[in-house]
Chains A and B, each alone.
Chain A
């Protein structure tokens, strides 16, 4: 996830000065993991619209829990 704050500045991924001082390779983190994507797809949550179909999202949470990922495993963002 991109760190944001309401008094902060917008995130500019193209800024040539915006590089990780630690040289870490963690930039993709915070995105859906393979596990969560698989869990979401298996329940059809990826097709959830996030409203009346939100039961799909609920199912994806259940699936996430079943993977043992718990809170670290994000539910699928409805598409």
Chain B
């Protein structure tokens, strides 16, 4: 049986799946980065502190820890932390941009105990390099996949999908398949962090009408190739192919069963702050730091960390409040909904919703209202305009440079109050 596929409704809350940002220092400064990574936070956990966290995670029943950044390998204690996780019986994995992964580095990662590593590749060369704001990034990431494989590490890829790169998906799959990946995670670029500054990059909700079927078709091909294409939690929900999209096997019956942030998923920011999910907005969801209190205490008692555990349908609003899947879906991905409308519980990035509206000749369009303040894991705010399905698309026909252009400078800044949902 697997560490990652659980009875999410029957499990008592514990951090089974942990995503840990070791440092915000990064060798990229990507245009869509939710944490606005590049430079380390003012204060980050030391190696000694991080090794204590490893023990605390093991005691809490953590099954898998994904090390991220920034770039996790830029933390001075990276190899020690990987090795400590492996010794503690917590499966260490990693998501990386791959820019600095050489053959020798991959060998050290394998020796430390890393067995699965996912490299973020977001399009073919021109698109990826534009999105990553780094010439040569695509070639470095592709080379990293080769170095990791040569070191005996199973390789996977992550892709953020948006209006800049969506046309690349099918040829990108061919590229990734040729590199020998075993799994591919596809997710939507939500307007979080730097992506919030680029409203022409992100998808409009009706884009899911053509995008989701393409991803489903790719998943069928991937099954035939022995590759597992899995959707990120913010891609779905409940379209005609939900079971195929969400299941790890072709005959599976899985479906989205609600956001597990703070229930079975934990995020750790590099300063030690604990969140229910790595992507959640810091100002609204980050609890205390492990530098201040034991992890078990924070997980059990911190109101922000546990803020999503007791939600009911009464907490939903808008379309999601009346949706037939409300009890099961609970408004889809929390951070994505929050990044669009300023609070969770109503998520326009939904295939079922887009199809329901389209059947009535309607669609929803996101219009930016307020810009993000410019902090890690922040967000702006959008208005949701319902209009005819065939209304003109103001964002159609833009070139790639326009897609990544900063497009919110003229807007007022979203005020951020401590403890406020924005």
**Residues on A facing B (Cβ under 8 Å):** 1-15, 17-27, 29-32, 37, 49-52, 54, 57-58, 60-61, 64, 70-72, 74-75, 77-79
Contact assessment for A15 and B8 in the assembled complex, using a CB-CB cutoff below 8 Å:
no
With A20-B63, A21-B3, A26-B6 as contacts: A3 and B16 at CB distance below 8 Å: yes
Which chain A residues border B241 with CB–CB below 8 Å? 79
With A17-B115, A19-B1, A29-B7 as contacts: A61 and B325 at CB distance below 8 Å: yes
State which of B152-160, B166-174, B363-371, B395-403 sits at the interface with chain A: B152-160
**10 cross-chain pairs, A with B, having the tightest CB-CB distances, nearest first:** A29-B7, A10-B183, A10-B185, A27-B1, A77-B242, A58-B324, A3-B17, A32-B253, A51-B355, A9-B118
B359 within 8 A of A: yes
Residue A31 contacts which of B11, B226, B253, B277 (CB distance < 8 angstroms)?
A: B253
Residue B182 contacts which of A12, A25, A49, A74 (CB distance < 8 angstroms)?
A: A12
Which chain A residues border B240 with CB–CB below 8 Å? 49-50, 78-79
Identify the interface centre among A12, A23, A54, A58: most chain B CB within 10 Å of its CB. Answer: A12
Residue B158 contacts which of A2, A10, A70, A78 (CB distance < 8 angstroms)?
A: A10
Which chain B residues border A13 with CB–CB below 8 Å? 2, 5, 228, 248-249
CB distance from B171 to the nearest CB of A (A): 19
Tell me the nearest residue of chain B to A33, going by C-beta.
Answer: B253
Contact assessment for A51 and B238 in the assembled complex, using a CB-CB cutoff below 8 Å:
no
Give the CA-CA distance A8 to B95 in the complex, in Å.
Answer: 6
CB distance from A40 to the nearest CB of B (A): 10
CB distance from B326 to the nearest CB of A (A): 8
Which chain B residues border A78 with CB–CB below 8 Å? 238-240, 242, 352
Which chain B residues border A6 with CB–CB below 8 Å? 34, 187, 190, 232-234, 278-279, 333, 335
Contact assessment for B327 and A1 in the assembled complex, using a CB-CB cutoff below 8 Å:
no
With A50-B352, A51-B358, A77-B243 as contacts: A7 and B66 at CB distance below 8 Å: yes
Give the CA-CA distance A22 to B228 in the complex, in Å.
Answer: 24
Give the CA-CA distance A15 to B154 in the complex, in Å.
Answer: 8
Contact assessment for A7 and B68 in the assembled complex, using a CB-CB cutoff below 8 Å:
yes
Tell me the nearest residue of chain B to A29, going by C-beta.
Answer: B7
Q: Besides A4-B230, A24-B1, 6 other CB < 8 A contacts?
A: A9-B118, A10-B157, A11-B185, A26-B11, A57-B324, A75-B324
**Residues on B facing A (Cβ under 8 Å):** 1-11, 16-17, 19, 21, 34, 61, 63, 66, 68, 89, 91, 93-95, 115-118, 154, 156-158, 182-185, 187, 190, 226, 228-234, 238-243, 246-249, 252-257, 260, 264-265, 267, 277-279, 324-328, 333, 335, 351-352, 355-356, 358-359
Which chain A residues border B325 with CB–CB below 8 Å? 57, 61, 75
Contact assessment for B116 and A52 in the assembled complex, using a CB-CB cutoff below 8 Å:
no
Residue A77 contacts which of B6, B154, B238, B333 (CB distance < 8 angstroms)?
A: B238
With A12-B154, A26-B10 as contacts: A3 and B328 at CB distance below 8 Å: no
With A1-B256, A75-B325 as contacts: A10 and B19 at CB distance below 8 Å: no
Contact assessment for A1 and B5 in the assembled complex, using a CB-CB cutoff below 8 Å:
yes
CB distance from A47 to the nearest CB of B (A): 10
Tell me the nearest residue of chain A to B247, going by C-beta.
Answer: A31
Which chain B residues border A31 with CB–CB below 8 Å? 247, 252-255
Contact assessment for B233 and A5 in the assembled complex, using a CB-CB cutoff below 8 Å:
yes
Give the CA-CA distance A27 to B231 in the complex, in Å.
Answer: 18
CB distance from A17 to the nearest CB of B (A): 5
Residue A2 contacts which of B89, B254, B356 (CB distance < 8 angstroms)?
A: B254
Contact assessment for B1 and A25 in the assembled complex, using a CB-CB cutoff below 8 Å:
yes
CB distance from A57 to the nearest CB of B (A): 4
Which chain A residues border B8 with CB–CB below 8 Å? 1, 3, 29-30
Give the CA-CA distance A78 to B234 in the complex, in Å.
Answer: 18
CB distance from A56 to the nearest CB of B (A): 9
Which chain B residues border A24 with CB–CB below 8 Å? 1
Which chain B residues border A11 with CB–CB below 8 Å? 2, 4-5, 183, 185, 228, 230, 248
